[in-house]
Amino acid sequence: MGTLRYHATLSMKLFVCLCCCLLSSIKIYPQGTPPLDVLKHVVTAADSFRQYLPVEKAYLHFDKTAYATGDTMWFKAYLFNAADFTYTLKSGLLYLELSRDSNYLVKRICLPMVGGLTWGDIILDEDRFPAGSYTLRAYTNWMRNFGEEYIFSRQFVIAGGNQDRRVHTQLKLLKDHANEIARLQLQWQDGGNKPVSGADLDIKVLQGKKVVYKNQASTATDGKVDIAFETPGKKGGPLVLEAREGKQGETLRIPLLLNRPQNTDLQFMPEGGSWINGQPARIGFKAIGEDGKGVPVHGKIVNSHQEEVATFTAKHLGMGTFNMVPEAGETYTAQLLLPDSSKLTYSLPAVHQSGTQMQVMNIPGKDSVLVLLASSEDIVEKGSGQSYLLIAQSADGIQYAAVVHFGNGSMQIKVAKELFPTGVARFTLLNMNRQPVNERIIFIDRHQHLQIKMTMDKTVYHPRDSIDMQISVTNAVGKPVQGSFSLAVTDDAQVNQQLPGNGNMISYLQLCADLKGYIEDPDYYFFSGDAHAGEALDCLLLTQGWVGYNWEQVFTPPSLLYPAEPGLMVRGTVLNAFNKPVKRTGVMLFSTSPLLLKDTLTDDQGRFVFTDFPPLDTVGFVVQARNRRGKSFNVGVEVDEFKPPVFSALAVPPVLPWNVNSDPTLLEYVKNNSVFRQEVEKIRLGGHALKEVVVNAKKGVAGSKSLNDPGEADLVLDEAVMKEAGKMTLEEVLLQRVKGFHWGFVNKKGLGYLLQNAEVKFVIDGMDVDFFYSETPGFSNINDHGNYLKSQLEYFTAEDIKGIEVMSSAGFSANYKSRYMSVEERMALAQKGQEVTYIEITTRGGHGPLQKKTPGTYVYKPIPFVWPRTFYRPRYIATDVNQPMKDLRATIHWIPDVVTDENGKASVSFYAADQTGTYTAIITGSDMLGGIGYQRQQVAIRKE
């Protein structure tokens, strides 16, 4: 609906603005373009740009804020046109990626979208998803045209697993004369939160690769150990504590968040981007601690004579503003007052002697925004000859446009808020060269969110009671709304829904998705009820960068690298022996499971495309070029494979490991999770748990040319593992599934692969990969061999592999050393006390490192689709109350497809678990026509 309103009213708004904003007649210069023509060109270019590159926004609603190993992550995805929050028709496929804290990919899946909606789940099995910190990203191929900032991302932790230690830390900073000493106390506890005494620890404190502190210590009877070290400067990066229990124990890495006041990052930003002498200015500031979060600060501003001209005090999360009038020829410094009465100084941005400045007054409750424009005297002297363009826009286009000039030095312009939808609005002042000179973003709240109500048939429930919930949805004026919503009900004793930083549909779509960088506690600005939240939001927008195109792109649109995918498409090219496209030739696509056959012709560029596929699960296609007689012939067929993005690590505050200073609700959840899963398994097995079965058969790889007997390896990754890995490269599979496998320096040989500290050698289909490597005389580099190996591992994907066998121990690697190493090489290895690991790789083609494709044929396996499963929910009757089965669910209920009828109504029912306390019900969703909503409510569970 936003698009319709824009096209219907843009011309009216434009001419009203031109006539009513204190404008006199516009002077047209003979040698220049008339300002009004420039304005029209800017408006037309911006409108064309949005049609050329319409933005999509994705949002995912999850059942919980954190997970435990072996749990299932349930989610629903919403995909919108960013302009008006209607469902997008551009993209029909959504990609989800889960990465570990080291930013390497663990899983990638693809979900089909219908009407901008889809839902699914991911089983967090411990082998694939060990305990740790993770990042989930969701994107369409089209969204990749706009950069990483447009990609939906969410951090979460997976707790539990084999990490049976709980660690509590206390950190204090003390002064010792001129030095600062960090005193760190660690308390080691077991899984039952009992102190672990006598644990031998190897402890290091690192700053980057530099060792700041190193020692060995044993925990006391209370499980505690104390260390002290002199803190280094901020330069060199954050500090990390590494603690390993025993020689074989797993190393625990703990970020040390010192938050030293003297290392506060304090930045000052004049409103609009610049300030000029003699004009009242508003300055925003933001103070960030070493942990990446806002810190409260206060201080004063002094001029070059050390005279106080203003004071400043942070209002929320280290942000605030102050007003002052800069003087010509002066420089200004901020003096930050520290808790120990010392001071830190920061230079303010230079004051401009010539230029313009802009302030935007967005007062809550007022129906208009007041734009204050000012200029330096030299611009005033030019009068109407110096024209500028004032543009105000939101996600759905330009809402206000006017030509302005500074005949009187300053002006005030009122812009009605009703011109804008709810969300971030961007005000820009451009010169006649169409270059932005001042910009400011504000948040306009039209109170247009959907109103959602949840009502229960009782005020208090008992364990295992049936809970009936009635849902009612209306729009801002009270009319019923039909829409699609997702509902999660969780146990407050196990799930902390108050964790800051997660955001919900409203705060993410209308704020976070439009701003660059980390937003601390976004829900505060919308749902805290704080009377100062609006003022704090304005400070955030004054000091935070925003996503969006730059003005150069508006006038010179970039080329599109990533086409939209309305659904599954198989596209490619047929080439002849001279690598030239073959036009008007037949191409056939077929699969056996499911049975499917399609054919088409290439175009003049040799391109072909197949579309309109039925719903498919995991599938593979054979694409074959055919001549006029229907025969395959000797040409090359290339299919456009999905090239996954390589994302950079998120710039967010460091996260402590889940078992360090743990949230009590998370510990309760971890304790109950394994018990509950066992109880559920009993139900699925008819009420009886199976006894442990010892399997003695050794796992082998079909078709392997291993020099050992089947299964004679330290680690075997079979075909099931490869099938699950899908599109991952061979290198990615090894990095993720072979513990200790990494890229690094191999003694003096340069870069290569290692398993722990042993050099790795590769054998593919019984062929030594090193046999095919040769140096280029006169051009060799110490890292050439490592790069050669890397190219081999990146060439193959998991789909090309039947299995992998790792031979690291002496017994399993002996045959390989005898076959592939000379006596001299083995003797030299033994003298140096070094080891070597062999990895045997069995491919489907069986051709070793020189794998070839069948001419005229291409086997294409798209990323597998994930189809929704049903959330497990018990059904109790009155006689179930005293059964011994323990119901310890953390997610009490999850339903992704709550659909309201024409009266805006829907009904949901579920059963309470065994534990008393409170549940939190969170519902969010959209009518997919522009309305979005969010609501939460408590449910009380008491004993009878």
- Read off the CATH number of the domain in which 768 is found: 2.170.130
703: left (phi over 0), alpha (psi -120 to 50) or beta: left
What distance lies between CA 289 and its chain's CA centroid?
A: 22
At how many degrees (to 10) do helices 730-737 and 784-795 cross? 100
H-type helices in 493-548, by residue range?
505-510, 524-527, 533-543
- 323 domain-assigned: yes
DSSP string, 596-627: EEEEEE--TTSEEEE--PPP-SS--EEEEEE-
The answer on 331 and 218 residing in a single domain is no
Q: Which of 841, 860, 879 is the last residue of a domain?
A: 860
Which residue in 256, 318, 270 sits closest to 660, CA to CA? 256
DSSP letter (8 states) at residue 808: -
Tell me the three state secondary structure of residue 16: helix
Cα angle 270, 272, 276; round to 5: 60
Alpha-carbon distances of 722 from 515, 614, 726, 794, rounded to whole Å? 39, 26, 6, 15
- 744 domain-assigned: yes
Strands 356-361 and 368-375: antiparallel
User: Consecutive sets of 10 residues in the chain, 944 residues long: mean pLDDT of each?
Assistant: 32 40 36 83 93 95 94 96 95 94 85 94 89 94 93 93 87 86 93 90 92 94 94 86 86 90 93 94 95 94 96 95 93 92 93 94 92 91 81 94 87 95 95 94 94 95 95 96 97 85 88 92 91 94 84 90 93 91 92 83 96 78 80 82 88 89 91 77 53 51 89 91 87 91 84 91 90 63 84 87 93 88 82 88 81 71 81 73 75 96 96 94 97 96 89
Indicate the pTM of the whole model.
0.83
Cis preceding linkage at 594, omega within 30: yes
DSSP string, 379-442: HHHHGGGSEEEEEEEETTEEEEEEEEE-TTSEEEEEEEGGGS-SEEEEEEEE-TTS-EEEEEEE
Query: Considering just the CA atoms, what is the radius of gyration of the chain in Å?
Result: 32
What pLDDT does 57 receive?
Answer: 97
711: left (phi over 0), alpha (psi -120 to 50) or beta: left
The answer on 825 and 751 residing in a single domain is yes
User: Domain limits at 213?
Assistant: 165-249
DSSP string, 851-873: --PPTTEEEE-PPPB----PPP-
606: left (phi over 0), alpha (psi -120 to 50) or beta: left
The answer on 326 and 242 residing in a single domain is no
Distance, in Å, from the CA atom of 43 to the CA atom of 36, rounded to the nearest integer, reads 11
Q: Which of 314, 347, 380 is the last residue of a domain?
A: 347
- β-sheet with 210-218: strand ranges across: 210-218, 200-207, 239-245, 251-256
The answer on 268 and 241 residing in a single domain is no
Q: Which of 835, 860, 885 is the last residue of a domain?
A: 860
Tell me the three state secondary structure of residue 923: strand
The answer on 309 and 231 residing in a single domain is no
Give me 642's structure tokens: 């999905």
- 44 domain-assigned: no
CATH number at residue 592: 2.60.40
Give me 440's structure tokens: 């400011």
Cα angle 244, 223, 238; round to 5: 45
Give me 201's structure tokens: 């620890």
Exposure string for 275-289, b = 16+ CB within 10 A, e = fewer? bbbebebbbbbbbbb
- β-sheet with 308-313: strand ranges across: 308-313, 298-302, 333-337, 343-347
DSSP H or E stretch at residue 698: none
In the chain, helix, strand, coil percent, each to 5? 20, 40, 45
CATH number at residue 200: 2.60.40.1930
540: left (phi over 0), alpha (psi -120 to 50) or beta: alpha
- 183 domain-assigned: yes
Which residue in 639, 537, 661 sits closest to 588, CA to CA? 639
The answer on 856 and 725 residing in a single domain is yes
Q: Considering its fold, how many domains does the chain have in total?
A: 4
Asked if 427 contacts 442 with a C-beta cutoff of 8 angstroms, the reply is: yes
Distance, in Å, from the CA atom of 101 to the CA atom of 129, rounded to the nearest integer, reads 11
The answer on 268 and 245 residing in a single domain is no
The answer on 233 and 173 residing in a single domain is yes
CATH number at residue 331: 2.60.40.1940
The answer on 829 and 722 residing in a single domain is yes
- 190 domain-assigned: yes
The answer on 850 and 755 residing in a single domain is yes
DSSP string, 553-605: HHHSPPPPSS---SS--EEEEEE-TTS-B-TT-EEEEEEETTEEEEEEE--TT
Backbone angles phi, psi at 509, to 5 degrees: -65, -35
Which residue in 627, 638, 581, 570 sits closest to 606, CA to CA? 581
- 761 domain-assigned: yes
Tell me the three state secondary structure of residue 209: coil
The answer on 850 and 720 residing in a single domain is yes
- 223 domain-assigned: yes
The answer on 293 and 243 residing in a single domain is no
Cα angle 641, 645, 651; round to 5: 170
DSSP H or E stretch at residue 667: helix 664-684
Distance, in Å, from the CA atom of 401 to the CA atom of 398, rounded to the nearest integer, reads 7
